Amino acid sequence: MEHSGRFIVSSGKKLRLGVLVSGRGSNLQAIIDASEAGAISAVVAIVISDVAHARALRLARNHGIEAVSIDPCLHATREDFDATVIDLLRKHEVELVCLAGFMRLLSPHFIGEYRNRIMNIHPALLPAFPGLHAQRQAIRYGAKVSGCTIHFVDEGVDTGPIIMQAVVPVLDDDTEASLSARILTYEHQIYPRAIQLFAEGRLEIRGRRVFCHETDTPQQYAKRAWGAVNP
């Protein structure tokens, strides 16, 4: 699907994030830590979960962030559920939606409401191994490297334009758990970085490609050690 080529620019104030979660919230914690440390020009305005007892909700409340659970069973359709979520996001003036272990597919209406303003993190180097159990897929396929991907969300499953990736080796004795743990450390690094690029208005989508506009001088950029992270 073709995406808008417009340059994505946020306002001068801190970017307001809405984080959607279903589980323990380790990536949410990384985002909150980066925000509280001043490492990103963003603040988590609200956390929403489809699981009432998700650990991520308690985590958010411990940081003074409003955290809300919405029961999907009380909504007749996916669109009805998403409409409730959208209403909360609007009330909290959310500018960027971050999926952090959110296990529901978003409806086309939701994606249309926040076109090019929804990010997701996936524990594989997309387009390889989309969907569930990506780490298990990588091991079974015999991949020598895997990693994680930050991408904008479109109507497909893990098919949106790629913003950033980090490469992680797959070791001969890896299990799904050990590979997942190694990848997770990089997830916690690149999600805040991608959010900051968005907050600085440095991301541009052209078709399927996302371009990062540098603010450093060439000399500053050359000195920066990105390791196995791109960009």
Beta carbons of 197 and 188 less than 8 angstroms apart: no
Strand partners, 172: none
Say whether 211 sits in a helix, a strand or coil: strand
Q: 90-113 burial, b for 16+ CB within 10 Å, e for fewer?
A: eebebbbbbbbbbebebbeebbeb
Q: Which amino acid is at 13?
A: K
Angle at which helices 26-36 and 176-199 pack, to 10 degrees?
Answer: 40
- The burial class, CB within 10 Å (0-12 / 13-18 / 19+), for 177 is exposed
Beta carbons of 149 and 125 less than 8 angstroms apart: yes
User: What's the CA gap between 51 and 24, in Å, rounded?
Assistant: 10
**Of 3, 75, 109, 122, which one is the catalytic site residue?**
122
122 catalytic residue (yes or no): yes
Angle at 209 between CA 89 and CA 32, to 5 degrees: 35
Q: How many CA atoms lie within 13 A of 172 on its CB side?
A: 0
Active centre residues (catalytic): 122
